[in-house]
Amino acid sequence: MSDSLVFLLLIYVAVLVTPLFLTPSVLLKPYGLLAGLMLTLPLSIILLASNEFSTPLLSFNHLDNPHKVESLLQLILVDALYGILLLLIGYFAVIFPVLKHGVSQSNDFVEPNDITVQRAYRVLAWISIAGIAAFIAFSINMGGIFALYNKMIVRSRLSEYGAGIFATYYVIAATQLMPIGTIIWAAYGRKPFQHGLFWVHLLASCLILFSQAARSPLFQFLIIIAIVTHMKSHGFNIPFRRMLSLICGLVVFPFLAFGMLSLRLGGMQNEAVAEAVLREDYINLALDLYAGRDFIDAETLLLIYDTFPSEEPYQFGGTFVAPLFAPIPRILWPNKPSMPGALMGKLFLAGDSGGFPPSLIGELYLNYGTLGVACGMFLIGAFLGVIHRATMKNRLTPAFLVIYAVLLMKFLYYIVSASFYNSITKGLGYVMPLILCVWYINRARDKSSNHRKVVTSHTNDR
């Protein structure tokens, strides 16, 4: 790597990491998680520039000129660097007025009363039954539980399982009610980890997520449970030792992930990954998992920066509005905007019907170029600032905690790693059932409180 590329990498990492060590509690704030996810970009660039390990994607675009690759990597890093700076400007522009007025962060968890806990358990029972029923329906379509897990082991995505009347998107989405119930239990229950039934529920949720043959939902679910559990006892405070343990855990976790890939080797299409498993090159494989899968991948960005606008015109917001036109058949509108993943597949997968996510920076760039990265990152920073302000103006009730933890993890994960479409459908889509559950729990509590007030009033009148 050239000295200029190394210098840009160091500046980028410093801009991301410095706030984490200045205020460790920022790890539980929107910027902290976003910074952790975006740290995959420099690692991906280092691996790519050193030619230690790379997937075959680049062969589709014939990026075999080292000088061209390095110049594109420098352009990507410059865009990402000032994008992060503008994100921070938008972020602090929103929260600074609150900080200026001396609003302190609430760190005391508000324990729910007995009536609220009872309502939460009732909701937990309902959605758990619905989630288990959806999972049973899905597994029947797959040929039974054992057939489902056998297909999960040798396949990489649910779309390869085939489809039927039960294996629809809505039934698969309904299976998520079981993990949602676990999150509600973790927030509303009193010392849930001391109850054996909670561990059974947690394990069942993990198995349901694991059956869908995707690492991301299971990984996100466990982090959400960890966030909820920590914030119930410590609020936003993170002791320095725990912060270091968390950072080390995020670094070590990918080195344990090769086991899942080795189990699914039979169904892999990625020859580079398969060869790495066969030669037991687990270190580079784990690094590739960390830097090039589900996060910001330098190889994907290279393809985008090399193609737009020299070979393909900018989309000018096409991938942002594409979901609005999804119901319109393409036969009636052949040139309607494509979904981001489908667009990437059409351009770079040589006729393959699949696709892959462009990531945050990639989608902003393929729509509006460098200006899109700048404006988009500023607006995202402002949105994250709004979420941060909400944490400073709301007490740590169970209702606030579950919505905040899920929104923080799900929305940020998908907006950074995949696309805006994924962040809305998978991130906010996961939040909506939680909002309905929390609304019912708190509405029921309010009605009970009003009833007690009316009874007390009548008693006093007598």
The residues, ordered by sequence, that sit 6+ positions from 368 with a Cβ below 8 Å of its Cβ are: 314, 316, 317, 375, 376
Computed from CA positions of residues 253, 259, 260, 262, in that sequence, does the dihedral angle turn out positive or negative?
A: positive
The closest alpha carbon to 96, from 395, 375, 385, 391, belongs to 385
Residue 225 scores a pLDDT above 90: yes
Residues 339/323, Cβ–Cβ less than 8 Å: yes
pLDDT tier for residue 160 given thresholds of 50, 70 and 90: very low
Mean pLDDT of all residues in 429-457: 67
For residue 428, list its beta bridge partners. Answer: none
Q: Is 333 left (phi over 0), alpha (psi -120 to 50) or beta?
A: beta
List, in sequence order, the alpha helices (H) in 101-210: 114-141, 145-154, 169-174, 177-188, 196-210
Angle at which helices 3-22 and 30-38 cross, to 10°: 150
Assign 402 to helix, strand or coil: helix
Mean pLDDT of all residues in 110-139: 90
Residues 437/180, Cβ–Cβ less than 8 Å: yes
Residue 29 scores a pLDDT above 70: yes
What are 262-283's pLDDT values in tens digits?
444 444 445 655 666 666 666 6
Q: Distance (Å, rounded) from C-alpha 56 to C-alpha 268? A: 13
Residue 419 scores a pLDDT above 60: yes
Burial class (CB in 10 A: 0-12, 13-18, 19+), 185: buried
DSSP 104: P
Assign 193 to helix, strand or coil: helix
Residues 58/72, Cβ–Cβ less than 8 Å: no
Residues 297/43, Cβ–Cβ less than 8 Å: no
For residue 109, list its beta bridge partners. Answer: 396
Q: Distance (Å, rounded) from C-alpha 191 to C-alpha 104? A: 27
N- to C-terminal Cα separation, the chain: 86
The closest alpha carbon to 184, from 118, 107, 235, belongs to 118
Q: Distance (Å, rounded) from C-alpha 35 to C-alpha 88? A: 11
Q: Which helix (H) or strand (E) covers residue 352, if one does? A: none
pLDDT of residue 334: 82
pLDDT of residue 456: 42
Residue 3 scores a pLDDT above 70: yes
Assign 397 to helix, strand or coil: coil
pLDDT of residue 126: 95
